[in-house]
């Protein structure tokens, strides 16, 4: 499982992943990194949290500001949290190898040891013991207790812990505890304004700006329906998918229906209304 978790983390591309800043999130993250403060990314699905972190990782570990960090082999360790994720999965475990047992670092331990950024995506989905585990890492101690080995691992100076979660659809039972929440610098993300979103769509899908503007406008209108069965409306990611379908030769209306209308809701009437909005806005 640990290997699977690690395999999910792609090595940053040679070029910095595209990210268009909406506010001062880049400056805030850089300042937090300098001060070794853990960061909490909050925001709806598909608004660019993960892309932002990939961009910042590249900037800090592969860009002009990398310095000695450029030698770190895996600068970003991503863990997609789920309800079966335990502290053991994060820290590591003994595995049988022939007649022996060997210790295998978990993704968190590896990041702490190497000085990478450890990104726990959707942390509230994980079991409670994982959130307690990170407490010692996210205050002045910056240590990771490895219980099974009786070891206290001090964090590498470049290590940074980043969590993300989506406050929109979490239940109270799955919300972060104040004792956890108050250890992080929180960056709040939202869907960008239409003109910025159009630029993002045009870049990501390589479509012309006018069509990207129409799609961004469509996203804005659909997000007006936040209490019609879907709290978050349509994500920037879905708008990019739509544009990519159009680039791939699918008709504008068909692309909207497939990538947006059917994806965001199962309510037939909402689907139809959203289709009509798309018909109104798109050529």
Partner 1 sequence: MARVEPSRNDVAALTAVALDDVARVLEIYVEAMLARPAEVRPLGDLASGDRSRAGHVDLEGAAAAGRPTTDGAAFYLPEQIERFGNPCGNFMVYRMAVLHQLGGVLFGTYRRGPVRFADFFAGFDQPGLARALFARLEGARIDAALARTFRGVRRDLLRLIDDALESTPPPASDRDCRPGFELQPHAGPESPPAPAPRRRSRGPSREAALSHLAGRLLMAQRRLVAVPALPRGRGSGDVDPAFDSTVRLKACDEGGGRGAGAADPALDLPDEAARLLLRGATVEDTRRAVRSLYRVFASLRPGAGPGRVGPFGGRSWCRRSRTGVRRRPGSAVSSTCPRRPITAIRRRSGSSCGASGPNSRPRSNCGTTWRRARWLRA
Binding site for partner 1 (CB under 8 A): 208-211, 213-214, 221-222, 224-225, 228, 269-270, 272-274, 276-283
Q: Which residues is 154 bridged to in the sheet? A: 143
> Is residue 107 within 8 Å of 90, Cβ to Cβ?
yes
Backbone angles phi, psi at 54, to 5 degrees: -60, -40
Q: Judging by beta carbons within 10 Å of its beta carbon (0-12, 13-18, 19+), is residue 17 exposed, middle or buried?
A: middle
**CB-nearer residue toward partner 1: 14 or 283:** 283
**CB-nearer residue toward partner 1: 247 or 270:** 270
Minimum separation from the CB atom of position 253 to partner 1 (A) = 9
Minimum separation from the CB atom of position 168 to partner 1 (A) = 18
Minimum separation from the CB atom of position 210 to partner 1 (A) = 3
Q: Which residues is 160 bridged to in the sheet? A: 117
**CB-nearer residue toward partner 1: 178 or 283:** 283
Residues 6+ apart with CB under 8 A from 90: 79, 106, 107, 108, 109, 130, 133
Minimum separation from the CB atom of position 265 to partner 1 (A) = 10
**CB-nearer residue toward partner 1: 5 or 201:** 201
**CB-nearer residue toward partner 1: 176 or 222:** 222
**CB-nearer residue toward partner 1: 87 or 225:** 225
Q: Judging by beta carbons within 10 Å of its beta carbon (0-12, 13-18, 19+), is residue 71 exposed, middle or buried?
A: exposed
CA separation for the pair 200, 217 (Å, rounded):
13
Q: How far is CA 126 from the centre of its chain?
A: 15
Minimum separation from the CB atom of position 208 to partner 1 (A) = 6
Q: Which residues is 95 bridged to in the sheet? A: 102
Minimum separation from the CB atom of position 203 to partner 1 (A) = 15
């Amino acid at each position: 499982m640990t290997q699977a978790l690690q395999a999910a983390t792609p090595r940053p591309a040679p070029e910095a992943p595209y990210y268009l800043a909406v506010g001062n999130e880049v400056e805030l993250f850089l300042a937090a990194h300098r001060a070794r403060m853990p960061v909490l990314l909050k925001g709806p699905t598909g608004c660019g949290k993960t892309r932002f972190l990939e961009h910042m990782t590249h900037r800090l570990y592969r860009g002009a500001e990398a310095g000695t960090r450029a030698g770190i082999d895996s600068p970003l360790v991503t863990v997609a949290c789920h309800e079966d994720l335990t502290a053991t999965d994060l820290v590591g475990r003994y595995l049988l190898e022939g007649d022996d047992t060997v210790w295998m670092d978990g993704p968190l331990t590896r990041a702490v040891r190497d000085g990478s950024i450890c990104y726990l995506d959707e942390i509230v989905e994980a079991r409670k013991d994982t959130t307690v585990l990170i407490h010692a890492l996210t205050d002045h101690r910056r240590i990771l207790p490895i219980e099974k080995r009786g070891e206290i691992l001090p964090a590498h100076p470049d290590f940074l812990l980043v969590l993300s979660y989506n406050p929109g659809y979490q239940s109270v039972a799955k919300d972060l505890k104040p004792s956890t929440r108050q250890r992080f610098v929180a960056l709040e993300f939202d869907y960008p304004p239409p003109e910025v979103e159009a630029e993002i769509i045009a870049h990501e899908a390589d479509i012309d700006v006018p069509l990207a503007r129409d799609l961004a406008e469509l996203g804005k209108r659909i997000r007006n329906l936040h209490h019609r069965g879907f709290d978050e409306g349509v994500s920037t990611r879905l708008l990019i998918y739509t544009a990519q379908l159009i680039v791939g030769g699918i008709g504008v209306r068909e692309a909207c229906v497939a990538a947006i209308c059917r994806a965001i809701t199962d309510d037939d009437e909402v689907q139809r209304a959203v289709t009509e909005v798309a018909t109104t806005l798109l050529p």
